[in-house]
């Protein structure tokens, strides 16, 4: 709270200067704030009866003490109780400025981060696996491995869309399969771990290497073009898969050539 200097006309009896109120040795007489003759025992002149009425009306004792300290009178308190003046306005009249309360800080709830799965439901994956023939026993053939993998994947919300052998032994074997993940996985490594674990069950501990890439992410249509070279590793299979497009391209070339001949 700030207490600016009061104007001369605003000085109340209890706040006047009392000549000779205090003397300091060697410094002479010093004028200090004191009580003028006839003032009340407190700095203000609020009577005990009026103070009791104010407390009963809901005025806090701390406000009454402050009002008394700045020279409020019974008439001021009467105006306050009668609603003639507000407490804030009365403080202003008496030269008191009350700083507004500091607002409480606004608490903003943090927005939870939304994580995006690397393999959303409906994603298409390309999986390759290589293994060697076991010592003292015959190894599982690539076709048998694909069939067994298809059966085992059902329990994990996955299925084999298509698959092919890329190496048929007699010692080294390899397959390449396209897998549809209907449930999805938070991480690409999670999906690969499922496929690796199932292949180990199928061919034993003879896995020599595996790879997994994402062909299509969910239903968004986003395609990983980095798998083109892998799919093209088997030229015959690539020709079979793209025969329709190759035929359409050849037909377009023939029609264009015929059109140009007529123009001549």
Question: Residue 224: which CATH number?
Answer: 3.30.70.260
* pLDDT score at 36: 41
Give the span between the Cα atoms of 39 and 45, in whole angstroms: 7
Give the pLDDT of residue 80: 86
Looking at the structure, do residues 148 and 207 belong to the same domain, yes or no?
A: yes
Q: In terms of domains, do 65 and 161 share one?
A: no
Q: Per-residue DSSP letters for 160-215?
A: EEEEEEEEE-SSEEEEEEEEEESS-BSSHHHHHHHHHHHHHHHH-S-EEEEEEEEE
Rg (CA), the chain: 47
Two tokens at 159?
């299925």
Residues 202 and 238 in one domain: no
Q: What is the DSSP letter of 94?
A: T
Q: Is 99 inside any structural domain?
A: no
Place of tokens 């800080």: 105
Residue 101: φ, ψ to 5°: -65, 145
Record the pTM: 0.44
Q: Do 209 and 251 reside in the same domain of the chain?
A: no
Q: Which residues span the domain enclosing 12?
A: 8-93
Query: Do residues 127 and 229 both lie within one domain?
Result: yes
Q: Whole-angstrom Cα distance, residue 264 to residue 252?
A: 19
- Block mean pLDDT (10 aa), the chain, length 264: 47 44 38 38 71 88 86 88 87 79 77 76 94 74 93 93 89 93 92 93 87 86 47 49 58 62 62
Report which secondary-structure segment, H or E, holds 82: helix 74-82
Question: Do the domain assignments include residue 45?
Answer: yes
- Residue 28 is predicted with a pLDDT of 37
Backbone angles phi, psi at 35, to 5 degrees: -95, 135
How many domains are contained in the chain?
3
């Amino acid at each position: 709270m700030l207490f600016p200097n009061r104007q001369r006309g605003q000085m109340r009896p209890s706040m006047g200067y009392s000549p000779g109120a205090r003397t300091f040795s060697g410094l002479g007489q010093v004028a200090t704030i004191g009580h003028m003759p006839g003032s009340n025992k407190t700095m203000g002149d609020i009577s005990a009866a009026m103070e009791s009425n104010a407390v009963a009306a809901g005025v806090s004792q701390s406000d009454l003490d402050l009002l008394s300290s700045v020279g409020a009178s019974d008439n001021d308190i009467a105006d306050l109780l009668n609603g003639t003046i507000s407490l804030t306005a009365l403080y202003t009249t008496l030269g008191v400025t009350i700083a507004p309360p500091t607002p409480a800080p606004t608490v903003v709830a943090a927005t939870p981060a939304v994580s995006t799965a690397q393999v959303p439901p409906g994603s298409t994956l390309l999986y390759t696996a290589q293994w060697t023939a076991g010592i003292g026993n015959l190894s599982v053939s690539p076709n048998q491995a694909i069939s067994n993998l298809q059966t085992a994947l059902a329990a994990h919300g996955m299925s084999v869309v298509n698959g092919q052998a890329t190496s048929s032994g007699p010692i080294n074997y390899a397959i390449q399969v396209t897998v549809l993940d209907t449930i999805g996985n938070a991480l690409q490594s999670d999906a690969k771990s499922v496929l690796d674990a199932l292949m180990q069950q199928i061919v034993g501990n003879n896995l020599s290497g595996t790879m997994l890439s994402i062909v299509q992410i969910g239903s968004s249509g986003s395609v990983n073009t980095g798998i083109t070279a892998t799919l093209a590793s088997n030229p015959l299979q690539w020709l079979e898969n793209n025969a329709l497009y190759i035929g359409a391209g050849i037909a377009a070339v023939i029609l264009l050539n015929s059109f140009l001949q007529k123009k001549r």
